[in-house]
Amino acid sequence: MLEKTYRPEEVEARQYERWEASGAFSARPEQDLPRYVVMMPPPNVTGNLHIGHALDNTIQDLLIRYHRMRGYDTLWQPGTDHAGIATQMVVERQLAAQGTSRSNLGREQFQEKIWEWKAESGGTIIRQLRRLGASADWPRERFTMDAGLSDAVLKVFVKLYKDGLIYRDKRLVNWDPKLQTAISDLEVQQTEVNGHLWHFKYPIEGEAGRYIVVATTRPETMLGDTGVAVHPDDARYQYLIGKHAVLPLVGRRLPIVADDYADPEAGSGAVKMTPAHDFNDFEVGKRRDLEVINIFDSYARLNDNVPEAYRGLDRYEARERVVADLEAEGLLEKVEDHLHKVPHGDRSNVAIEPWLTDQWYCDAKTLAQPCIEAVEQGKTRIVPKQWENTYFEWMRNIQPWCISRQLWWGHQIPAWYGPDGEIFVEESEEQALAAAEAHYGKATELTRDEDVLDTWFSSGLWPFSTLGWPSEDPTVKRDLALYYPGSVLVTGFDILFFWVARMMMLGVHFMGEVPFRDVAIHGLVRDASGAKMSKSKGNSMDPLEIIDAYGCDAVRYTLLALAVPGRDLKLDPARMEGYRNFCTKLWNAARFCEMNGARLPADYDPAACKQQVNRWIVGKVAEAGRNLDTAMQGYRFDEAASTLYHFTWHLFCDWYIEFAKPLLQEEGEAAEEVRATMGWALKSLLCLLHPLAPFITEELWEKLGYDGEGLLISTQVPDFPESLIDAEAAAEMDWVLRLISEVRTVRAEMNVPPAAKIDLRLREASATTVERLERQKEVIQRLARLSSLDLLADETPQGAVQFVIDEAVGLLPLAEVIDISAEKARLEKEIAKAESEIGKLDKKLSNEQFLAKAPESVVEENKSRRAEEQETRDKLAAALERLEAV
C-alpha cells in the first residue's frame, strides 16, 4: 500500500538513475519516426544552475517528454559553453587570490589552468540539470571547445573570410580598460550617471579676445581634440567656418568645420571633435578629414600624445586636472549638472572607452538579410509574435559584429601574419605556411594572431556543430539530415540578439536552412515582488534548495504554471507550496484508487461505459488530454499546467472519487465498471501529467504496477478522440453537480447538522430523457432525504432544486440556530441583487436596436436570464415574507 504522503527525496534520484540507465533519453536515428529536436542553450561550463536555467530547461524537458510519449524520436542536445570572458574572469580571480596573475603564467600555462578548472568544476551544472529531471541525450553532450566543435569554428571562420564576410578593420571599438579587450555592442550596458556638462572657451586663432564655446561631458578628451564642428546653417558661426580655434593647454590648431552633426539647439551649437574617442566624432572626422589622435593607452591612461604634465594620468584624474587648468586660464565658462548615459562593460562594470584598434569584424548585415526574410516567410516562427518586431528591428539595423577578443580563453583566430603584415587565414598552420610560400615564393615565417573569437561565434554554430558538422562521416551526415533544423528553440528574450540572431545568421548561411522552426520565448524569473534576482540583493533562489524543500515536480509545476509566453514570472514560495500540495493530492487520489481495487482490465474500452458518472469522467479525461494538446501547440505552458491541475483536483478528486465511494460499496457490475474506469482515468492522468511532473507520476506508475517498463521508458499516451466526450452525460453531470452544490449551500446556511455523506448512486446510463429525469429525481430524493427535507416525487428537476431551496428557507424560522435578522439582511441583499440584474436585463431587452441587431441566440439567452432572475426574486421575496411572519 502507498504511504500517506509522497516523499520526493526518496524517489527522485532512484527514478532518474533508472531512466538514464535505460537509454530512453537518447535519440533513435535508426528508427523511422517523426523527429522532434531541441537544442539546449549551453550553459557556462563552469556555471551553477540558477533559477533561469531551471525554467528554460523545465520547459524543454516538458516539450521533449511530451513528444517522446507521443511517438516522436526526440533529440534534446545538451552541452556547455566555454563562455570566454566569464570563465577567464573566474580563473583570473582565483589566480589573484593565490597571489599570481595570468601575465605571470603566460598564455599556455594560463590555458592549462582553465582546463584544470573546467575539469574540476565543469560537470556541476550538468549534474544539476539531472536534478531537475532533464531527459537530455547525455551521451551526446558537447562542449564548445571540443575538437569537433573547434573544427567547425575554424571552417566557418575561414569560409566567411574567403567569402569576404569576415574582415580585419581599424576602427573604434568598445574597449574595456579593465578586462583589456574589445567587446561587442551587445556587451555594452548604458548606465545613467549624474555628471556635468562643462562649457569651455576655445580662443579663435588670430582674433584676440574672441572665443568659440564648446560643451562636453568628458573634459579629459579635449586633449585629443582635432576640430570644432558647427551646423552649416547656423548663422552665429558662419564667419568662423574655415577658420581655426586654438586648443587650450595643447596649442593645436583646430579647424572649424561645418557638419550636419552639430545641433544648433544643443549647448552652444558648436561641438568639439575628438575622432579617436567618440563614435560620432570619428564619423565626422572621416567626413571632414580631421586628424585622429589617440590619447589613451589600453588602461585608459593618458599616453604620450598629450602634453607632458598629463601623461600617465588616469582618465578621471586627468578630468579634474584639465578642468582645473582651464578654469585657471579663465576658459571655463560654466558647469551644469547633467544626467546622461555612460556605456559600461556588462562584465567588468567599468566605463568602456571608444578606442581605435585593429579588430576582426563579421559582416552581419549581409548575413542578416536572408534571416529577416526567413522570419517574414514564416520559416521560423517567433512565439509570442510580438517579438518578431524586435527581431526585425535589430536585424535591419545591425552593425558590423566585432568578433575578436583580447583574451586567452577561447578559439584562437586562425589568421597568420607575414613579416610585411600580409594576412593568411587558413584552417591550420601548415595551410597558412603553404599559402605564405605560394604568396612570397619561398617559405616564410608567420606569426599567429593572438586574439580569440567572441564566445557567441561558436555558440552560433551550436545547432549543427553539435551534430558533427563539418565531418563527412556517414553518421554525421545522417544526423544532420534528421536533426537539422531543430523543432523549437526555447530561450529567454535576454539572449535573443546575442544567440538566437547569431544562430540564424550562421545556420542559414552554412546549412542553407533556418536552424529551428519555432523560437519559444519566455520571460525572466523574478522574485515575489518583481525584482530581478541577484546574489547581491540576496533575493536569489537556488533551484536545488527549493527542489529539496518542495520536491522537483512541485518546482517544475510552479515554473510551468507561471510561464506565460514572453512575460516575466514572479516566483513566490507560496505557489510552490501549492503545487507541492497538489502532488500530495495526486498521490492520495492514487492511494484511494489502490485501496479500492481500481484496476484496468486488458479489454477495457472507455467508450463502452454504461454508467453516467463513468461516461462523464471518461469524457473529462479526454477533454483534459485535448486541452493539453492545444496548450502545448501554442506553447501555453501555463494553460497546460492549469488544465491538468483543475482536472486532477476539481474533477477527478472532488467529484469522481466522491461519486465512486458509494458505488464501490456495492458488489457487482456497477462497482466493477467503476473500478475499471477509475483505473483507466488514473492511468491516463499519469500519462498526461508525466511531462510536467515526471517523478511522482513515474513512481505511482511503478507502485501501482502498471504495465511496461514505466512511463518514460515505454509508455505512449493514448489518443483521446472527441468521441469519448459524451455531451449528454456531461450536461447531466453538470446539472447534478450544480444541484448538489445548491443543496449543500442550503444545508450549510440552515446549519443542518452533517448527516451521512452525500450518497449518489447514479444508475446505469440511459439515452432517453424520461429515464434521465427519473434518475435525476432519484438523486434529488436522496439529497432531500439526507437534508431532512421531504420532496414531492413528481416535481420536475429544475423545480425540485428550487423546491429544496424553498423548503430550506421555509424551515429557517424553525431552526433555532439561525439568526433571523442576519438571515433577513441576507435575503434583502439577494433580492436587491436580483432586482438590479432584472433592471439591467429589462433595459437591454427594451432596446429596439438590440432586438434588431443582436443575434437571436443572444436575445433568447437574455430573455431566459430575465425569467430566471424574476423567478429567483419572487422566491426570495416569498421566503422573506415567511420569515417576517415568524
User: DSSP secondary-structure letter at 454?
Assistant: -
* From 10, 112, 263, 314, residue interacting with RNA (rule: CB under 7 A): 263
Contact flag: residue 4 with RNA (CB under 7 A): yes
Distance CA 300, CA 53 (A): 36
Q: Is 288 one of the binding residues for RNA (CB under 7 A)? A: no
Quote the least distance from Cβ 471 to RNA, whole Å: 36
Which of the stretches 55-63, 163-171, 478-486, 581-589 binds RNA when contact is defined by CB under 7 A?
A: 581-589
Task: Out of 14, 286, 341, 537, point to the residue binding RNA (CB under 7 A).
Answer: 341
Smaller CB distance to RNA: residue 251 or 855?
855
201 touching RNA, by CB under 7 A = no
Tell me how far, at minimum, the Cβ of 9 lies from RNA, in Å.
11
143, 416, 462, 592: which one binds RNA (CB under 7 A): 592
156 versus 657: smaller Cβ distance to RNA: 657
15 alpha-carbon distance from chain centroid: 27
Cα-Cα-Cα-Cα torsion 805, 807, 810, 814, nearest 10 degrees, comes to -120
Which of the residues 228 through 247 are near RNA (CB under 7 A)?
A: 229
- Using CB under 7 A, which residues numbered 410 to 469 contact RNA? none
- The nearest distance, CB 26 to RNA, in angstroms, is 34
Closest CB 551 distance from RNA, rounded Å: 9
267 binds RNA (CB under 7 A): yes
Question: How far is residue 733's CA from residue 735's CA, in Å, rounded to a whole number?
Answer: 5
Q: What is the C-alpha separation between 240 and 193, in angstroms, rounded? A: 34
Site for RNA, residues 42 to 81, rule: CB under 7 A = none
Q: Are 256 and 228 in contact (CB under 8 A)?
A: yes
Closest by Cα among 751, 685, 742, 767 to 872:
742
Specify the stretch interacting with RNA by CB under 7 A; choose among 359-367, 443-451, 482-490, 737-745.
737-745
Q: Minimum distance from CB of 492 to RNA (Å)?
A: 11
Under the binding rule (CB under 7 A), the answer on residue 847 touching RNA is yes
Position among 30, 265, 337, 722 found at the interface with RNA (CB under 7 A): 265
H helix runs in 751-793, sequence order: 769-786
Name the strand (E) or helix (H) holding 173. strand 166-176
Stretch in the footprint of RNA (CB under 7 A) among 358-366, 459-467, 563-571, 683-691: 563-571
Give dist(CA 252, CA 262) in Å, integer. 21
- For the bound state, the minimum distance from the C-beta of residue 638 to RNA, rounded and expressed in Å, comes to 6
Asked if 255 and 244 touch (Cβ cutoff 8 Å), the reply is: yes
Please, are residues 452 and 408 in contact by the beta-carbon 8 Å criterion? yes
Minimum separation from the CB atom of position 863 to RNA (A): 11
| Of 277, 411, 522, 580, the one binding RNA by CB under 7 A | 580
- Rounded CA-CA distance 587/644 in Å is 14
Binding of residue 218 to RNA (CB under 7 A): yes
Identity of the amino acid at 473: D
The answer to whether the beta carbons of residues 273 and 228 sit under 8 Å apart is: yes
For the chain, percent helix, then strand, then coil, each to nearest 5?
50, 15, 30
Name the residue among 400, 509, 402, 494 with its Cα closest to residue 463.
Answer: 509
Residue 250: name the closest of 219, 207, 208 by CA. 219
Binding pattern for the stretch 747-776 against RNA, x by CB under 7 A and - elsewhere:
-xx----x--x-------------------
Q: Is residue 335 within 8 Å of residue 199, measured between CB atoms?
A: yes
Supply 293's cell numbers.
Answer: 589622435
386 binds RNA (CB under 7 A): yes
* Span 473-512, contacts to RNA by CB under 7 A: 497
Residues near RNA (CB under 7 A), total = 90
Cα of 655 vs its chain's centroid, Å: 36
> What character string, x for contact with RNA (CB under 7 A) and - otherwise, covers 650-679?
x--xx--xx--x------------------
Rank residues 773 and 851 by Cβ distance to RNA and give the closer one. Answer: 851
Bridge-based pairing of strands 516-522 and 486-492 is parallel
Span from 68-76, 336-344, 409-417, 622-630 in contact with RNA (CB under 7 A): 336-344
Q: Does 390 bind RNA (CB under 7 A)?
A: yes
Least Å distance, CB 828 to RNA, is: 13
Q: 10 Å Cβ neighbour count for 385?
A: 10
Least distance from RNA to the Cβ atom of residue 654, Å: 4
Note the helical H segments in 470-565.
Answer: 474-483, 502-511, 543-550, 552-562
Decide: is 853 part of the binding site for RNA (CB under 7 A).
yes
620 lies in the site for RNA, by CB under 7 A: no
